[in-house]
Structure 1
Amino acid sequence: MAERQQVHDIISNEEDKESPEPQTSRSRRRFKASNMSFVEMMEMVDILKGADYDGKYGPYSNPNVRKAKIMTKVDRSLQKNFGVRRSKEQLRKRWSDLKLREQDQYRRIKRVLQKNAG
């Protein structure tokens, strides 16, 4: 058993020496999907609620264009304030998950935002 491990270690070391260049992704528009901090989520919720992202307060013309512009604002704000780049898809999914799956955290965020505003 120990011999097999030593052979495996030798082979893996040889493979490391053969390919010293770092592996890069094929797409340059891919952003690393790391966990979102609470303050990042607060920033996102603040912008999305303030801009009525879900369209609760009236019919809007071109809702898809409107939503894309709002997501661009969120992306720029997160990059400016936290130095984090995220795709609009990641942000859209995070917003959906907050509302549908993580309602307790969504309520906490709304409560903190209300305290800060009032």
Structure 2
Amino acid sequence: MKRQAYRPILITDASRSQDDQLTSRQRRYVVMMSVRVACVIVGAILVGAKAPLLWLWLPLVALGMVLIPWVAVLLANDRPPKERHRLANRFSARPEAAAPPAPMSLAAEERPHRVIDAEP
């Protein structure tokens, strides 16, 4: 049976930890909810001050108050896509997937063997 060629794992290929992913999603959610709070405050100020073009600004602020929470929840629950299964490339019809990777070291059959003779 032929051995697989050695392929080192690069640290740049490692995925982010679950804690890092959760922290970044929480930050994104807090920022988006802060924008929503700002929309509520701006809407209240516009109504209280009877601003010109209120008929234009109020629907824009209301749209922000409605759409931002929906998008924030979707993005907070989002996670990176799963990696493809390790056997998926074996059965792929793509030519680049069919080519074997370049070996990083000599196979066991190609290495020079050290012979130790026990008899004088």
Q: Which has the higher helix share?
A: 1
The higher-RCO structure (CA 8 Å, 6+ apart) is 2
TM-score between the two structures when normalised by the length of structure 1: 0.27
TM-score between the two structures when normalised by the length of structure 2: 0.27
